[in-house]
Structure 1
């Protein structure tokens, strides 16, 4: 099997796990989100540390946090990803999985805006049109429902800012995320200490919950490793295209399995978002083809 094919399969597997993970967290909805987040942080740290030891790259953690600047950057990334994880888990428990999927649909367009603001990247007319259409979709949904889709906005903004912060790191994704959860682990330990100290805590209360909380670490870590594997073997345009599988599966789970409400306002907003993504993706693919032609021309 050729390397690009392996990369595409790894990317599909990664996005499938992400897209169906809402089912997993729905099974844990009787546990407070902050407790799930604490366990997800600690068990993913153990999983990532094990992977780095096996790969012989554990010492790279020292490089990741070796300077004050890198420690600050990783700390900021850690806070943003924890906000993203907490919001996603909470959205499932509140019956807002449709809105969560909207957030991950909006995310690529939020990244475009942040690239223009932070890195002074120039936007083409089609990209500006796509971003404007996405903004109009959010405004339409807000007007129709009488409340802003805060969960979608927090998910999109936190993940978009996370990407901006991560651009300042020279280490790979597995090492950087290991450093992030390492920084978050003292907070997670305090949360679990207080929870169990007050007579609560689901861990060890029954083996089903305990195993599911432990496996949340693997559920967090494995897709990231698959993503890293895929990103090295396929074009970035392909990665971006396949990534839409994640929110699409989230949307299908929310509407077909969780049976969440999907109003006419949702339908209008999602149609706008899908149109915006189609415009954005088409533009990105054209730019990628043009760049490749320029690279091979004499």
Structure 2
């Protein structure tokens, strides 16, 4: 289930390319509205509406939910723009860099202390972004915005509560975004820029399917996260940007000059260092826990 979730996310470049001629804003607002509809139906069927009401009744958690909604909307919008503007490779870079950005956010916002290997990984990541910037001739802003918004989304979701079911959280996020999405959709239709009813029934069906495309991988991920160790989920997450990179290079015909490969190789080196350190730290914590249990029963 975890592999299926990440594989579906990895195929998004092909899916969002197929949504043309709808622009990134139109796709985003349809994604919000159809996701809300599907989530609400599922939540009602699973009798989870009470959990949603309890979440929205808590002002502090709702505030963090609002931040999560804003950051994920920005992430979705920039990603769709990246795909439709022919920058799938740069978009995939954002999800490779994301673990490094999450570590930095932990230092800057949560005052966490990094281990030497984590600092080394972040340093190599910074060099990699520098190399890729030189290659592009500009700062890879799509990648950086995707990494920052997704990292911030993770922090906000943490404050909402780790025990909050994914379906409840997504329903709340899309509910908060829905008034803005609906207003944007009306503006697009009035201005004659909407494509929902003007580009054929297949296109209409694809726009409607954005709700399924958003919700199904999330449910698969949630189911997997309850059944496998967090370290396994952490390793599986790299499947998505790998598939996105392959889509960009092999299927969508984007260029990948040698210098850019060097930059990506440095990012992968940083991720190897970071992942190895994380696995070692997890093993040390497990060994200490076993030792403490043995001492308590000794």
TM-score by structure 2 length?
Answer: 0.94
Specify the alignment match of 1:294 in structure 2.
Answer: 288
Q: Partners in 1 of 2:227 and 2:59 — Cα distance?
A: 33
- The Cα of 1:162 is off from its aligned counterpart by 0.7
Name the SS for the 1:250 alignment partner: helix
Q: Distance in 2 between matches of 1:157 and 1:22?
A: 20
Q: Tell me how far 1:263 sits from its aligned partner.
A: 1.3
Q: Residues 203-223 of structure 1, C-alpha deviation per residue, up to 9 Å, x if partnerless?
A: 122211111011111100111
Q: CA deviation at 1:75?
A: 1.1
Match of 1:99 among 50, 65, 90: 90
Q: TM-score, normalised to structure 1's length?
A: 0.94
Query: Which residue in the other structure is 2:197 paired with?
Result: 204
Aligned equivalent of 1:184:
177
Q: Deviations over 1:241-288 (max 9, x none)?
A: 011000000000000000101112211110000011011111111111
Quick one: distance in 2 between partners of 1:266 and 1:102? 11
Query: How many residues in Structure 1 have an aligned counterpart in Structure 2?
Result: 289
Q: Secondary structure at the match of 2:159?
A: coil
Give 2:54's aligned residue. 63
Distance (Å, rounded) in 1 between the aligned partners of 2:290 and 2:143: 41
204-213 vs 127-136, which deviates more? 204-213
| Residue of 252, 268, 278 corresponding to 1:258 | 252
Give 1:118 deviation, angstroms. Answer: 1.9
Structure 2, unpaired ranges of 5+: none
Post-superposition offset of 1:98 = 0.2
**Other structure's SS at 2:49 match:** coil
CA deviation after TM superposition for structure 1 residue 142, in Å: 1.2
Q: Give a deviation string over 1:181-225, Cα, whole Å, max 9, x none.
A: 001111111111111122332112221111101111110011111
- 1:6-85 correspondence runs (5 A): 10-85=1-76
- Residue 268 of structure 2 is aligned to residue 274 of structure 1: yes
Post-superposition shift, 1:121? 2.0
Cα RMSD (Å): 1.1
CA distance in 1, matches of 2:134, 2:260: 11
Q: Which runs of 5+ in 1 are unaligned?
A: 1-9
Could you report, residue by residue, the CA deviation over 1:91-127 in whole angstroms, capped at 9, with x for unpaired residues?
0111000000000000011111111222222211111
Residue aligning to 1:175: 168
Shift of 1:72: 1.6
Q: 2:238 aligns to what? A: 244
Q: What is the correspondence of 1:129-208 to structure 2 with a 5 Å cutoff?
A: 129-170=120-161, 171-205=164-198, 206-208=200-202
Determine helix, strand or coil for the equivalent of 2:193: coil
Q: Report the CA distance between 1:60 and its aligned residue.
A: 1.2
Secondary structure (helix, strand or coil) at the match of 2:77 reads helix
CA contact (8 A) 1:39 1:214 kept: yes
Is residue 104 of structure 2 the alignment partner of residue 86 of structure 1? no
Alignment check: 8 A CA contact 1:145 1:265 kept: no
Name the CA distance, whole Å, in 1 between partners of 2:158 and 2:49.
Answer: 21
